[in-house]
Amino acid sequence: MIWPALILLFMFILAPAIEIFRASIFDPEFTTEHINRIFGRDIYLTILWRTIKVSLVVSVLCAVIAYPVAYFIVKRPRQQQFAFLFLIFVPMWMNILIRTYAWMVVLGREGIINSTMIALGLIDESIQMLFTSGAVYVSMIQILLPIQIVTCYSAMTEIDFDLVRAARILGASPAQALRRVFLPLSLDGTITGMIIVFMLSMGFFITPALVGGPTDLMLANLIEMQVEQLNWGFAATIAILLFTSTLLFVLVIRSLSKMLTKFLGGGNL
Amino acid sequence: MLQKLSASISRWALSAYFYLIVFYLIFPVLIIFPISLSNNTFLRFPPSNFGIRWYQTFVNDPAWMEATILSFSVAISVSILATVIGTMAVLALERRKLRFSNLLSYFMSSPLLIPHIFIALGVLIFTISLGVENSIFALIGAHTAIAIPYVVLIVGASHRQLDLTLERAARVLGAGPIRAFFAAAFPSLLPSVVAAAVFAFFVSFDELVIAQFLMNGRETLPMRIWADLRLELRPTIAAVSSLLIILTTVAMLLAELLRRRTASLTST
């Protein structure tokens, strides 16, 4: 009974992935043309580096911002937790296009922030907020934050709060108990969330195109532009670059986080 | 005394922080409603006069209506296919001692971790090399593939909570395997199956990139919104968005409640 699912995933995930690899080096004869093109001009590596940088910043900021939020929810009585979670779920379920559109409305030249500030007399002329890197960060974090909060929260629900209480009884201050007991135990969920957010932002497409400027384009936008120009082989090569660099950085994040866990778990008070 | 004070201050600060973040998450979405109710020709805030002009534009524009109908038909097909195929996979994974069953579970959830742009490009190149490009079946297939992990996760979680005694009793009393399953196990699985169907529906209904790559000529609703957003910000989008926000919130809330109900019913 598993066969229909396997056949479907083979046809629409595995075979297409293989096709991407094939298209990047056979066109139709074996060629390294596309790979040379990527390394031949700075622009492609610049966009690759920007994509990685944006994704790293977004995932770290999401982790830091989400942690207290998840902690706040998990400390509520059980029956109340769903009501608080619901406030996180509603934006999470919303279409990314719509959420990006919302930011265009908020940050635009005649948007809410600008018109409010002009009405209050704080500024005389609209500030350029839309089509900047700042707009990309603000919207991407807003879009990905709920995922981090929910991942972090569900990891925290597994933690036995008696351990924190035990630390307190044994003489730890609240801050010490939090740092020495709760933080190491909740770190795994935070890292998992960070990796998910990182992987998702590496493939981001809609938000950089709509709220960013021309210098905010990411790898996914580059792929789309190449597809529009019917350069499938080159698009495939960029897609592989996207895939391998994502994988590489996930491995880096994981090994760094293992070192961090060791550091927090061991050592002195 | 001092310690108590500082504890209550930090508790107060934490809940203030929580509501600040909730404001950041929800405010931009809520602001779309008043804008959708403006009668201004251009996007401006605050709107100077109110009305349902942009809702009428949406309903009377054939391009928007065709896109809506196409999106609904694709998403409904995806929802049915993904739910049936995904549930079957769950039953196989959970009940049979399959070889490599861990590996198979990973493979089932792999679409969650692959960027949609990668899948979109792959399926595009694949359909071109097979000579079947621009087909709606490719779109439905690709959307079903990315929806299956959600079905497997939701129905799988609920199946692990299932008490199989009843079904075994039915088998002992002479029911065939299919009849025993539908009479004894399926009713408790049903809420999670419905929840999975709703999730699968929205995976397809909201998806832009794959549709953008595979469809040539016919537009889905996200494609229509995307095309409009790139050109100019007309309040029609605010009207469409408001309708979608209401639809998504109501349907997903129902799905989430169903999912939670099964979890709590079986765990007590």
Long-range CB pairs of A217-220 (<8 Å, 24+ gap) are A217/A47, A217/A50, A218/A47, A218/A50, A218/A51, A218/A54, A219/A47, A219/A48, A219/A51, A220/A51, A220/B115, A220/B117, A220/B209
Of A111, A145, A202, the CB nearest to B45: A111
Of A8, A96, A243, the CB nearest to B144: A8
Comparing CA positions, the residue from A150, A158, A168 lying closest to residue A67 is: A150
Backbone angles phi, psi at A26, to 5 degrees: -120, 125
Interface test mutation site (partner B, options A73, A90, A115, A173, max chain B beta carbons within 10 A): A90
pLDDT tens profile B222-265: 999 999 998 877 788 999 999 999 999 999 999 888 888 766 65
Pick the residue with more confidence: A27 or A248? A248
Residues forming a β-bridge with B38: B50
pLDDT-derived band at A268 (thresholds 50, 70, 90) equals very low
Interface test mutation site (partner B, options A1, A14, A131, A211, max chain B beta carbons within 10 A): A1
Pick the residue with more confidence: A154 or A264? A154
pLDDT tens profile A47-87: 999 999 999 999 999 999 999 999 999 999 988 898 999 99
Distances (CA, A) of B131 to A11, A23, A59, A234: 15, 15, 40, 20
> What is the model's pLDDT at position B62?
93
Pick the residue with more confidence: B95 or A59? A59
A96-111: average pLDDT: 91
pLDDT tens profile B110-165: 888 899 999 999 999 999 989 888 889 999 999 999 999 999 999 998 888 888 88
Hey, are the CB atoms on B89 and A1 less than 8 Å from each other?
Answer: yes
Separation between Cα atoms, residue A103 and residue A112, nearest integer Å: 10
> What is the model's pLDDT at position A140?
97
> What is the model's pLDDT at position A269?
42
pLDDT-derived band at A107 (thresholds 50, 70, 90) equals very high
> What is the model's pLDDT at position B125?
94
- Counting one residue from chain A and one from chain B, the pairs whose CB atoms sit within 8 A come to 220
Hey, are the CB atoms on B26 and A6 less than 8 Å from each other?
Answer: no
Pick the residue with more confidence: B215 or A183? B215
For residue B97, pLDDT beyond 80: no
A15-36: average pLDDT: 87
> What is the model's pLDDT at position A161?
84
Contacts of B128 in chain A (CB under 8 A): 232
Mean pLDDT of chain A, nearest integer: 90
Pick the residue with more confidence: B100 or A55? A55
Hey, are the CB atoms on A105 and B31 less than 8 Å from each other?
Answer: yes
Long-range CB pairs of A38-44 (<8 Å, 24+ gap) are A38/A237, A38/A238, A38/A241, A44/A222, A44/A238, A44/A241
CA nearest to A143 within chain B? B25
Contacts of B126 in chain A (CB under 8 A): 15-16, 19
> What is the model's pLDDT at position B262?
66
> What is the model's pLDDT at position B45?
63
Q: pTM for the full model? A: 0.91
CA nearest to A115 within chain B? B45
Contacts of B252 in chain A (CB under 8 A): 89, 93
pLDDT-derived band at A124 (thresholds 50, 70, 90) equals confident
Kindly tell me the burial class for residue B260, based on how many C-beta atoms sit within 10 Å of its own C-beta (0-12, 13-18, 19 or more). Answer: middle
Separation between Cα atoms, residue B9 and residue B12, nearest integer Å: 5
Of A71, A94, A142, the CB nearest to B24: A142
Contacts of B222 in chain A (CB under 8 A): 95, 97
pLDDT tens profile A156-196: 998 888 888 888 888 888 888 888 888 888 888 899 999 99
pLDDT tens profile B31-89: 899 888 887 766 666 667 788 888 998 999 999 999 999 999 999 999 999 999 999 99
